[in-house]
Chains A and B, each alone.
Chain A
């Protein structure tokens, strides 16, 4: 039981490049989330998915797209990376009734 896994762990991009961050969970959770973490800002929600086939915007969705591929996987795509997207990205998934979110180890992204 690996919990929430994220790939890659680290990535360096040039401005304008695209990439997809992958997230998978093996806990049979319905809900999945993407956050970004910046120094002094805490975690801010980018997008979330309440169930397979549904996605909703969070606090900071601009510049990102998401895909809920199936119940296990939730990917985050940067179509044209910008230096402002340099951050640590966390994926999380949630149990049913009790609102606890479980987090992955994070992806550290540097956009030059």
Chain B
């Protein structure tokens, strides 16, 4: 079965500093990988996704992520954090099922705090 690990429960970054959120996955085949963001009291918004091809993917709000198969990682990065980026970030891996559909397995999330 697939799994996702986000090693950092909380991260605090100064506004304007760079950001990297870590994500490691376990899956037997080529994974579909996602990063979602959740602001307080809100639903989940897709930041970016990786299915195949270029291992560096660009997303919304200036975020990017790099798929590294050798390290089973899909880390999220942003060169300069804004106060509005404070939120919880979830990494997810998609897996095909023997039945008729595919499902997502989520990590437990990383809460990003932005200090002035």
Contacts and interface: CB of A to CB of B under 8 A. Distances in A.
Q: Specify whether A and B are partners.
A: yes
Contacts of A41: 108
Contacts of B67: none
A51 interface: yes
B43 A104 contact: yes
Contacts of A31: 101
B70 interface: no
B30 to A, nearest CB: 12
Nearest to A44: B106
Contact of B103 (A33, A100, A103, A105): A33
Contacts of B108: 40-42
Interface residues of A, number: 27
20 contacts: A40-B109, A42-B90, A43-B90, A43-B106, A45-B103, A45-B104, A45-B105, A48-B101, A56-B97, A56-B101, A58-B103, A90-B43, A94-B101, A99-B49, A99-B51, A99-B94, A99-B102, A100-B34, A100-B49, A102-B46
Interface of B: 4, 9, 32, 34, 36, 42-46, 49, 51, 90, 92, 94, 97, 99-109
Interface of A: 4, 31, 33, 40-45, 48, 50-51, 54, 56, 58, 90, 92, 94, 98-106
